[in-house]
Amino acid sequence: MPLASLAQGYRAVVLGASGGIGTAIAGELRSDPNCLQLVTLSRRENGFDITDEKSVVAAAAEAADGLHLVFCATGGLVVDGVGPEKSLKQVDPRVMMRQFALNSIGPALVLKHFAPKLARNERSIFAFLSARVGSIGDNRLGGWISYRASKAALNQIVRTASVELRRTHPRAVVVALHPGTVATKMTADYSTHHRQLDPSESACAMFQVIDGLTAENTGGFFAYDGLPVEW
């Protein structure tokens, strides 16, 4: 079972469920007999737009109370057809704002409106797809300024939200995850020098990681292999 640590008949929501990794995450949950209810949201399937607060509010209103898992698998490396910058001179404020809207502000809105839906007296997990390139301490190559910065912002959002949620949901785990270099359309042109994981391989690995985390790990940043990633 993907998540043996959750309550029998747990309720789950996957945002970004039509992307490469999101599809794999939703597929694994559908195969889990312990998952009583699964809601999948995406722009392609039902018009869900993480950058539009009205869309997030409507989605949260439709979700059941007492959620045990919210997995935010949204994000983008190429926005409006523009890929990551190779140098400072390529920084475009419009593209950077779109990166932040998708990779940072959107997840913050998800936390704002879905956190109240989490189960209060049972274990729950709120997971967000981040990226190792969002690590400030691990940045030795430079480049990709907008994407790196937007993921670093996401990590801070996750960390800050975990502190607040610890007070109201003491059994909740709020976590940022590096999924590895996954073979998807998003990474097809940018991962030639890295070992690529199949989306289902990445999804299963991340489930194994979060299944083993405790409330003491809330606010952390972990890779698909279970190792913590430096901020």
Catalytic positions, written as ranges: 147, 151
Per-residue HEC secondary structure of the chain comes to: CCCCCCCCCEEEEEECCCCHHHHHHHHHHHCCCCEEEEEEECHHHHCCCCCCHHHHHHHHHHCCCCECEEEECCCCCCECCECCCCCHHHCCHHHHHHHHHHHHHHHHHHHHHHHHHECCCCCEEEEEECCHHHCCCCCCCCCCHHHHHHHHHHHHHHHHHHHHHHHHCCCEEEEEEECCCECCCCCCCCCCCCCCECHHHHHHHHHHHHHHCCHHHCCCEEECCCCECCC
N- to C-terminal Cα distance for the chain? 31
CA–CA dist 164, 144 (Å, integer): 31
| C-alpha pair distances (Å), 216 with each of 4, 35, 174 | 18, 24, 10
CA–CA dist 139, 131 (Å, integer): 12
